[in-house]
Structure 1
Amino acid sequence: MILYFFLTSLLFSPSGFTKKPIWADEFNYEGLPDPKKWSYDVGNGNNGWGNQELQYYTNARKENAFVSNGTLKIRAIKESYEGQEYTSARLVSKKKGDFKYGRFEVRAKVPTGRGTWPAVWMLPTDWEYGGWPSSGEIDILEHVGYDPDVVHISVHTKAYHHSIGTQKTASRKLPGATNSFHLYRVDWTPTYIKGFVDDVELFHFDNEGEDKNAWPFDQKFHWLINLAVGGMWGGQKGIDEAAFPAEFEVDYVRVYGWKK
């Protein structure tokens, strides 16, 4: 028994999460994002996802997603491509990094410019309770360029989402979000989802114990990292074409396991 508690103390922090990441990308290499960890959503949103955005998400195109000098860069470019006027990238860890509960960290710097809409978020891998929003969504970081240095953490479920005015979200004015790196984090357990900016709690959503309409967060989710252009939220105040190319920069993403 003593040995068990000693080993547990080495593996887990007092908060119930592992002390070391169980999955991470430190972006300490050069070139395209690691194909063992990342795939791409490709297209312009007409294939079942998107929010009326204007970019075409490309597939392993170094102009839109690359790693250099220790960070991932996702770059939105003003250019004609596949019928769209902008290109960008949307990285996904589906089937390469899928998790049920844990601590999820990203250190990032968001771009400036009206019309930019960067996000680091999570979607269900298997959509066990149906299409969006029934199976849930977790937003670790969002920022819209027309409202600079205001960052957002949210969740979406069938009972709680913006389409019906019940979305669970929290925002914070974060001076320097567009010119320096900050730490964004979500802690997800069977009983709550908490969101933090620079280790200060911003968001709290409890499992109310009712049904899957309110809490579908008992299945595996995966990472998404993208930089959208325009859209229903990012494009509300128009687009400043002079802001492009725009760059979303990520220092690392890390996942810490949760102790049952």
Structure 2
Amino acid sequence: MLPLSSQNIQSMKLSTILFLSSICCLLLVGCKADGSDVDASPATPSTSSSATAASTSVTPADTKGYAPAGYSLVWSDEFNEGTMPSEKNWGYQSGGHGWTAKELQLYQDADPDNVGVADGLLRITALVEKTKRNAFTSTRLVSKGKAMFEEGYFEVRAKFPSGEGMRSAFWMVGDTVSKIGWPKAGEIDLVEHYGKFPTVVGCAVQTPLNYWSKKSQLGGSKIVKTAESDFHVYGCLWTPERLEFSVDGEVYWTYDAVSLTGGLSYPFKWPFYMVANVSVGGVRGPGGELKPENFPASMYIDYVRVFQK
């Protein structure tokens, strides 16, 4: 019941794949003018060199994954403790106003039906659940004020839910958004998955020059046939000049700063916080018919890791 649209993708080998992935990423929703300026609660900032981050147990060197040579693990959440996300690492952005994409869910604040930790996995679940103004509930988990980083290699191992109308994402927002607004603060959509196209994943950037609501968003996509059934490693290497997006160590899209535009094309010069969410419906990205049998719809994250030089 939810119509959609899309923007800017890398070329694919087969024409059918090109058509499919372009639909997915031309509208690729980075989730932004989307209330990322809403303060997460609770927030207890801490600071460490080039990163603002809560101190968590750093895992052994054999968890390096696909981090480039010369990068070391500086922060991670392995989701091995407790039954809810660590309050040292994560807070919540809640509300059911539809955000800017006219989404249908109410984001709950630490509701165990919508979010939890078990068996070494983080679970974020969208439910058919009637509230005063919404027909669905879900979670929007954020590291705002707790774990914020400027540059580095970011890696997430995740598996996505199935079902048309579902959008699952792990992304990052410039913490300056509260002061200068979006899209000036910038946004890095590390990975997005739309249930409409189960075998496609995508990435995108939102900048003052190119952003989704201007219908000029830039992004890439890749066929991952088992995105819903198996875990895959999604990465982003963020340097002063470039963003490289990868799946299982294979780079599939690169974004370079555009010369002669200053920070307008590359507003990635300050700390960003991380966001994980599952949304329902909306006017951005491939939608489709919402079917009750597709709920509950859960995204699972095995770990989140940040590496820096």
TM-score, normalised by the number of residues in structure 2? 0.75
* Equivalent position of 2:50 in the other structure: none
Cα deviation, 1:99-154, whole Å, max 9, x if unaligned, reads 00010000000000111100000001122872221211100110111111200011
Distance 1:190 1:70, change over 3 A: same
Distance 1:17 1:77, change over 3 A: farther
Give the SS at the match of 1:163. helix
CA–CA distance in structure 1, aligned partners of residues 179 and 199 of structure 2: 35
Distance 1:87 1:191, change over 3 A: same
* Equivalent position of 1:57 in the other structure: 107
1:114 to 152, 164, 174: 164
User: CA RMSD, aligned part only?
Assistant: 2.0
TM-score, normalised by the number of residues in structure 1? 0.89
CA–CA distance in structure 2, aligned partners of residues 32 and 50 of structure 1: 28
1:18 to 46, 71, 75: 71
Letter of the structure 2 residue corresponding to residue 179 of structure 1: S
* Equivalent position of 2:293 in the other structure: 242
Letter of the structure 2 residue corresponding to residue 113 of structure 1: G
2:228 to 178, 189, 194: 178
Shift of the alpha carbon at 1:180?
A: 0.4
Instruction: State the number of aligned residues.
Output: 245
Letter of the structure 1 residue corresponding to residue 71 of structure 2: T
Give the SS at the match of 2:162. coil
Q: What are the within-5 Å matches in structure 2 for residues 133-148 of structure 1?
A: 133-148=183-198
Letter of the structure 1 residue corresponding to residue 247 of structure 2: V
2:221 matches 1:168: no
Q: What are the within-5 Å matches in structure 2 for residues 38-49 of structure 1?
A: 38-45=90-97, 49=99
Letter of the structure 1 residue corresponding to residue 307 of structure 2: Y
Cα deviation, 1:167-226, whole Å, max 9, x if unaligned, reads 210011110000000000000010101100110001101122422221111011010000
Distance 1:201 1:98, change over 3 A: same
CA–CA distance in structure 1, aligned partners of residues 216 and 76 of structure 2: 33
* Equivalent position of 2:80 in the other structure: 28
Letter of the structure 2 residue corresponding to residue 85 of structure 1: A
**% of aligned pairs identical?**
37
Unaligned runs of 5+ in 2: 1-60
* Equivalent position of 1:6 in the other structure: none
2:194–2:287 CA contact under 8 A, matched in 1: no
CA–CA distance in structure 2, aligned partners of residues 149 and 133 of structure 1: 29
Deviation larger for 64-73 or 154-163: 154-163
* Equivalent position of 2:181 in the other structure: 131
CA–CA distance in structure 2, aligned partners of residues 116 and 246 of structure 1: 8
Distance 1:44 1:246, change over 3 A: same
Distance 1:90 1:152, change over 3 A: same
* Equivalent position of 1:4 in the other structure: none
* Equivalent position of 1:192 in the other structure: 242
Q: What are the within-5 Å matches in structure 2 for residues 65-104 of structure 1?
A: 65-104=115-154
More strand by share: 1
